[in-house]
């Protein structure tokens, strides 16, 4: 008789996650959006809305620019950029 719960052979065993995988996923920052108005600037990183001075893990937001942000990670400055849009508007012939 078959079990009520099927086991997916393509998935890792339940409860097993390597330390390297946990550390790697924590270090990955995905810049998803930049919102700049005349009164404020916010970014969305890994689904969280942040502003200058906020932290996500050990990373601090230093500056928000129209297409990139400046962060401090372990005493080193890094720039994260938004990727180019996939869909571009077509131009009308001149």
Output the pLDDT for position 83: 79
Output the pLDDT for position 69: 96
Chain centre to alpha carbon of residue 32: 6
- Residue numbers of the domain that contains 50: 29-81
DSSP state of 25: H
Decide if 93 is inside a domain.
Answer: no
pLDDT in tens, 16-63: 544 444 444 447 899 999 999 889 999 999 999 999 999 999 999 999
Please tell me whether residue 39 adopts helix, strand or coil conformation. Answer: coil
Domain count, the chain: 1
Decide if 13 is inside a domain.
Answer: no
Q: How far apart are CA 70 and CA 78, in angstroms?
A: 6
pTM across the whole model: 0.61
> Phi, psi at residue 32, to the nearest 5°?
-105, -30
Q: Please report, for the domain that includes residue 37, its CATH number.
A: 2.30.30
């Amino acid at each position: 008789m078959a079990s009520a719960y099927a086991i997916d052979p393509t998935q890792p065993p339940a409860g097993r996650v390597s330390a390297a995988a946990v550390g790697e996923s924590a270090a990955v920052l995905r810049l998803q959006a930049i919102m700049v108005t005349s009164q404020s600037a916010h970014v969305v990183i890994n689904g969280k809305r942040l502003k200058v001075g906020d932290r996500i893990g050990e990373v601090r937001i230093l500056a928000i620019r129209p297409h990139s942000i400046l962060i401090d990670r372990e005493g080193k400055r890094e720039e994260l950029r938004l990727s180019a849009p996939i869909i571009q508007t077509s131009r009308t012939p001149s």
